[in-house]
Structure 1
Amino acid sequence: MAHVKVKIYTTPTCPWCRRAKEYFRQLGIPFTEVDVSKDRKGAEEMIRKSGQMGVPVIEIGNQIIVGFDKARIDRILGIS
């Protein structure tokens, strides 16, 4: 779990993005944040990976989660 790479595609005004980031902070899992409102390449990458334009999009390893789906995050991370 500690070695998994996490990337969160966000915008500054997204409340679910803030919740997702706070959840990973609570778990002590570092993440890379990509602000798609300022990073056009990051936005294109997010759309290519997820097929979605909405945020948050969370990438855990090679898994993509659209939205803040805590149960799915926990499953992928092996948290019961």
Structure 2
Amino acid sequence: MLPAHLKQVDFGENYQISFFDKSWYNTETLKNMKVTIYSTPTCHFCSMAKEYFKANSIPYEEFDVASNMEKRKEMMEKSGQLGVPVILVGDKVVVGFDRPKLAQLLDIK
């Protein structure tokens, strides 16, 4: 049995396709959540976070704090951290790529 967020189409004994069912999301929650990621080009965990957002169709705004000193200062003021990624989900701050916390905040089941 597949998890609730996956659907399966059966084309007979030898062919099955599973795909992600985006209707399983609480779309109202996603519409009202602004996601911002402060990152650097060489940050592996930043790349993982952005891939996670893309895989889950989460729109986000990105700021490169390696080249944008104003955004670096803003990130430090919001998080108290210099390390990246720093992710804002609405008014909540997530330091690092904390997948369970992001799933909770974004209501991803």
Large movers: runs of 4+ above 3 Å:
none
2:83 is matched with 54
1:73 is matched with 102
1:16 is matched with 45
Higher Cα radius of gyration? 2
Residue 38 of structure 1: how far off its partner (Å): 0.6
Q: Give the aligned CA root-mean-square deviation in angstroms.
A: 0.7
* Equivalence map 1:28-39=2 (5 Å): 28-39=57-68
What fraction of aligned residue pairs are identical, expressed as a percent?
46
Paired letter, 2:62 = E
Deviations 1:15-63 (A, max 9, x none): 0000000000011011000000011110000000000000000000000
Q: Return the alpha-carbon distance in structure 1 between the equivalents of residues 67 and 91 of structure 2.
A: 24
2:25 is matched with none
TM-score calculated relative to the size of structure 2: 0.71
2:69 is matched with 40
Residue 2 of structure 1: how far off its partner (Å): 2.1
Paired letter, 1:45 = E
State whether structure 2 residue 40 is matched by structure 1 residue 2: no
In structure 2, the gaps of 5 or more residues are 1-28
